[in-house]
Amino acid sequence: MKRWMGRLFASLFSVAAATSAIACQITPVADIPVRWVDGRPVLTANLNDRPIDWVLATGSPTSTVARSDARRAGLTLYEVDHSNDFGHARNEREEWSYPSTLKLGSLAVREASFKVAVPSPGAPQGVGSTLGLAALNAYALELDLGHGRLRLLKANGCVGDEHLYWGGAYSMLALDTDHGWRLPASVNGKAVTVTVDSGAAESSITPDAALRLGLETKGRPRTALLDAVTLDQETLHSVSVMVNDSDASKGLVLGADFLRAHRVLVLPAEHRVYFTHNDGPGLVK
C-alpha cells in the first residue's frame, strides 16, 4: 500500500512539474509595417481589397473610417438614430458601415464594421481613418513602434509574471480595455489612471486632472511639468505634457511619444501589459 501511494504521489509530482514547466507561448499572426506621419503611427491595411491608411488609435475602443475612404472601399453605410437613447443628444445620428473585410498584413479580419467619422482637426495630412481596439482586441499585440513594427500574436499559457520573449528588464501592469488602454500609475506619488493612446501625437493632461494633482500649468500653449510618473518598475522624470481639454474623461494621456520610446506587449485576454524602454526618441525617462 505504501509503495502504491508513493508511486501515485511521484506520478502526480511529475505531472505538476511538467505543467509548471510549460511557458508562455507566443505565436506570430501578422507583422505590419508602421510609419510615422505628423508624430502618429500610421499603417496601411486593405479594406475590401482597397489600400487605406489608418492611424493606430489605442485610446479608442472604436475604429472609424473617413467618408472618402469609405467611398474608395465601396462600403455600404447605414444610419443609427440615437434620438431616444439615454446619454445621447436629441436628433443625434451616426453612420456605420455594414461588415466588410479588413486585411492586416497576412491576416484577414472578417465582419469588421466601422463608424463613419470626420477626421479630427489634428489628424495627419491625408490620413482620416483610425484603427481602434475593436479590430485588434482578439489578439495579443507587440508594439515596436520605435522600429516601425506592429505585430499581432496569439498568446497561450501567459499567466503570472511572464518574461518578454525579447528579454531584458520589464514592467508589468494590469490593463483595462473597456474604454481604450488604461493603466494604473502614480504622478508625484499620487495614484492615477492613465490612458495610453497612440492616436495622440503628444502626451497630455486635462485641466481638471492637473488641478487634482496640484500641478502648475503655464505658457502658450499651456503645459504642465510632472516631476515623476511611475509605471510599475519604471519612473519617468521631469515629464512636460500638453494641457488638453478636448476629452475630460481621459485625465492623463500617454501618447505616441511614450509608445515610441517603449517596446510593448499587450495581452488583452489576460488584462496585462508589459513594456521595456527603448533608446531613442520619445518621452524622457
Q: For 40-82, what is each residue's pLDDT tens digit?
A: 999 999 999 999 999 999 998 899 999 999 999 999 999 987 6
DSSP H stretches of helix in the chain: 2-20, 67-72, 207-212, 256-260
**Are residue 250 and residue 226 in the same domain, yes or no?**
yes
The pLDDT of residue 24 is 75
Q: Per residue in 264-278, pLDDT tens?
A: 999 998 899 999 988
What total number of domains does the chain contain?
2
Higher-confidence position of 54 and 137: 54
Q: Last residue of some domain: 106, 137, 155? A: 155
CA distance 30 to 9: 44
Percentage of the chain lying above the pLDDT 90 cut: 61
Phi-psi region of 105 (alpha: psi -120 to 50; beta: other; left: phi over 0): left
Q: Last residue of some domain: 119, 135, 155? A: 155
Give the number of other CB atoms < 10 A from CB of residue 234.
17
Q: Last residue of some domain: 136, 155, 174? A: 155
Higher-confidence position of 87 and 252: 252
Q: Per residue in 53-63, pLDDT tens?
A: 999 999 988 99
Residue 236: which CATH number? 2.40.70.10
Judge contact between 151 and 144, C-beta under 8 A. yes
Rounded alpha-carbon distances, angstroms, from residue 120 to 200, 246, 248, 256: 11, 11, 16, 16
**Are residue 168 and residue 149 in the same domain, yes or no?**
no
Averaged pLDDT of the chain = 85
Parallel, antiparallel, or unpaired: how do β-strands 25-33 and 149-156 relate? antiparallel
Q: Is the peptide bond before 119 cis (omega within 30 degrees of 0)?
A: no
Q: What would the grid cell of residue 85 be?
A: 437613447
